[in-house]
Amino acid sequence: MIRRIHGREIREWAEKVGLSLSDDEALEFLDLTGRMLDNLDLVESLATPAAPLLEAVRSLKPRPSKSEDPYNAIIQGCEVKASDRGLLSGMRIGLKDNMAVAGIPMTCGSRLLEGYVPKSDCVVAERLLQAGGKIVAKLNMDDFAFSAGGETSHFGAVTNPYDITRTASGSSSGPAAALHYDSIDLTFGTDQGGSIRLPASWCGVLGLKPTFGLVPYTGIASIDVTYDNVGPLARTVETLALGLTAVAGRHSSDPRQHADILSNDYVDVVSRAPDDLRGVTIGVLLEGFNAEHATNAPPGTRQTMEATREVVERVQEMGATVKPISIPDHSISGSVKLAALAEGYAATFHAFGNSYHQDAAYWEDFGMALGKGMSAFSDDLHPTVKSAMILGNYLRERYFGSFYARARNWAPTLREAYDRALSEVDLIVMPTATHYAHKLAPGASLAETVWRSWTCNANTAAANISGHPALSMPAGEADGLPVGVMIVGTTFGDADLLSFARTYEQANGWLPLG
């Protein structure tokens, strides 16, 4: 039975939505809400139809020791397996810990979800299991995925495999760093502003943000349904293609997808990749190098730009036509993303992880866990999350949602600008992160900690706004650290990115070596 509103509480609830009630009105509304809640008792008694759970072996493993997990990439070991046969047979897979796997605890890198165990699998996990893959780990991530710094997890920072005094970036920090373990072959992360591509760049692995909607997001903790993306990270293009082939395609539960989703056999595409790049035209995005000229650019910015230019030269040597292009709107995409994501993020928290007004599969048990966690542990959220919630609520209540509306209304402008550029070139190239991995800074001030978590992502936000696919390749190196080079393709042109990367990989391999 739903708890009723009592006595003077009716005034308190009215004031929360900006209403003041007279004594007579308070009595009337108290009676009205009581009658309404009588009806809602029926709703509370309804049984939620549960999707059939895939039959699988599901077991927990101890959290690895420091010697077994030197980069702090793993939150929970597990073994979830449904089949020995399929595209991913024998492949050991790690999932970012905002992705539901039934029977396996899920934390979102936060104390708020302490004790939460999902009842169902996210669609990605289900498809991986159906394809013969074995899920062996839930992977560390920034607190509720709202940081690119790799330092905000309740379980501690994820360190960089090439220098453990530096971070792995984020928010999919664990999925990138864990690929340096022999026990994990393929990982999946999420990307609302660069959170797959940035840690891939800093950790020297491949990371793909697919075309928006190509891979279903159902059963994964959302930041904003207009920005949510899930995609694979891997050490080789072949493995990346296997992962994408297994999970791509329409699923009726996800409102982010449309009926005209164009998936592909990416494994076949990669197997047929040409030996050179003759006939391919690459556009070098001038605005993608703007960070080089910024005042107080972080360490590694100049070296990152130089390393990317060296990759462009190698591409040209392989037969590609290279030409400079300009998309002026790219330069403001980071600010637009911040305006939308802060407000959208706050709204998602207010809705306890479920978005209203969607014809979708709603996640009841997650909403209850998040709500209870917010009541008990909200002060334990990392300052990056708190700052986003404060800003988002301020924008919503002071400007009545107009900033979010303006940011989302601008998205077609950027999409059209990218489409125009891609009508003249096959792919667009730029640095993924605008500087290489920064040092851990446990003694930094609150404001510095928050701000430095966003210094690297000026180039990644645009593809989240426009929806185009973007792939970070570990093609560059500077001062012994990886430098990711990002290629962006046409909508549902994910296969072109993989084919290009495979051709480059076969000719040059990936850096750093060793």
CA nearest to 178, candidates 99, 267, 50, 73: 73
3 state SS for 412-474: HHHHHHHHHHHCCCCEEEEECCCCCCCECCCCCCHHHHHHHCCCCCCCCHHHHHHCCCEEEEE
3-class DSSP assignment, residue 164: strand
Which pLDDT value is given to residue 19? 87
In a domain, 461, yes or no: yes
Average pLDDT on 116-130 reads 97
Instruction: Assess whether 139 and 29 both reside in one domain.
Output: no
- Rounded-to-5 percentages of helix, strand, coil across the chain: 40, 15, 45
Q: Give CA–CA dist 130/41, Å, rounded.
A: 39
Average pLDDT over residues 401-424: 96
Whole-number Cα distances in Å, 134 to 78, 79, 98, 183, 251: 9, 7, 18, 11, 22
Residue 169 and residue 257 share a domain = yes
Residue 514 lies in a domain: no
155 with 281, same domain? yes
**Same domain, yes or no: 23 and 81:** no
Query: What is the dihedral sign for C-alpha 219, 223, 225, 231?
Result: negative
Shared domain check, 35 and 105: no
Residue percentage of the chain with pLDDT more than 70:
100
Say yes or no: 64 and 40 in one domain: no
Q: Is 20 a catalytic residue?
A: no
Q: Does 93 lie in the same domain as 36?
A: no
Q: pLDDT tens for residues 455-476?
A: 999 999 999 999 999 999 999 9
Binned at pLDDT 50, 70 and 90, residue 259 comes out as confident
Active site (annotated) includes residue 195: yes
In a domain, 1, yes or no: no
In a domain? residue 434:
yes
> Looking at the domain assignment, is residue 4 inside a domain?
no
Given the residues 153, 171, 201, 263, select the one marked as catalytic. 171
209 classed as catalytic: no
The rounded distance, in Å, linking the Cα atoms of 163 and 440 is 10
User: Tens digits of per-residue pLDDT, 298-321?
Assistant: 999 999 999 999 999 999 999 999
CA distance 202 to 205: 8
pLDDT confidence of residue 32: 87
Lowest mean pLDDT among 31-35, 98-102, 281-285: 31-35
Predicted pLDDT at 49: 72
Q: pLDDT band at residue 514, thresholds of 50, 70 and 90?
A: low
Q: Tell me the average pLDDT across 326-335.
A: 96
Identity at 447, one-letter amino acid code: A
- The tens digit of pLDDT for each residue in 46-77 reads 767 777 899 999 999 999 999 999 999 999 99
Q: What is the average pLDDT score of the chain?
A: 94
Same structural domain for residues 388 and 471? Answer: yes
Whether residue 413 lies inside any domain: the answer is yes
Indicate whether 88 and 214 sit together in one domain: yes
Same-domain pairing of 282 and 305:
yes
- With a pLDDT cut of 90, the percent of the chain lying above it is 80
Using DSSP's 3-state secondary structure scheme, residue 490 falls into coil
120, 153, 173, 195: the catalytic one is 195
Contacts of 293 (CB under 8 A, 6+ apart): none
Q: Does 65 reside within a domain?
A: yes
205 in the same domain as 236 = yes
- Read off the pLDDT of each residue in 397-404 and give the average, rounded to a whole number: 91
C-beta atoms surrounding 379 within 10 Å: 7
pLDDT tier at 294, thresholds 50, 70, 90: confident
How far lies 428's CA from each of 60, 375, 419, in Å?
43, 46, 11
Q: Which residue range is the domain that position 146 belongs to?
A: 57-508
**Are residue 38 and residue 77 in the same domain, yes or no?**
no
Q: Please write the tens of the pLDDT for every residue from 92-106.
A: 999 999 999 999 999
What pLDDT sits at residue 507?
97
In a domain, 256, yes or no: yes
Residues 27-47: what's their mean pLDDT? 83
Q: Report how many domains make up the chain.
A: 2
Q: CATH number, domain at 405? A: 3.90.1300.10
